[in-house]
Amino acid sequence: MSLLPEEIRNAWDDRDGAVVLTTVSRDGAANSIYATCVGMYENKYIVVADNYFDKTRKNILDGSAGVVLFITKAKKAYQIKGSLEYHESGKFFDFMKSWNPEQHPGYAAVVLIPEKAYSGAKKIC
């Protein structure tokens, strides 16, 4: 996907509070966390700061796909599904460090590479 659809980009800018990041372990156990340190990179990727991950980090390093779920101020829900990458240096890491609060460690940038996006049951892409 070259760019996230405009509907998703606008909803992201209007999100209310934390996002939920969900990963899955090798044995199929889902793990969801709230994440407040997040950003959108080049209107293409969702970036989440790994400040205090444990199971989430292990799942990502084991090859888990992921889902980011968020809600807008108008209480409309969106979810973006895709593959995950873990970056401890490079452009995504530098981007994360540019907005991650200094009091948090920012060990790595987790990048969701969107493959599908939904608003409720409606598939957007």
Average pLDDT, the chain: 96
Residue 22's pLDDT band, with cuts at 50, 70 and 90, is very high
Cα–Cα distance for residue pair 37/15, rounded to 1 Å: 13
Phi, psi at 56, each rounded to 5°: -60, -45
Tokens read off for 87:
């970056």
CATH of the domain at 34: 2.30.110.10
d(CA 64, CA 125): 21
Count how many domains the chain has. Answer: 1
SS3 state of residue 28? coil
Phi then psi for residue 28, to 5 deg, are 90, 5
The domain of 95 spans 6-120
Band (3; pLDDT cuts 50, 70, 90): confident
Q: Model confidence over 27-59: pLDDT tens digits?
A: 999 999 999 999 999 999 999 999 999 999 999
Asked whether residue 125 is domain-assigned, the answer is no
Q: What is the mean pLDDT of residues 96-119?
A: 97
Q: In the prediction, which pLDDT does 79 show?
A: 97
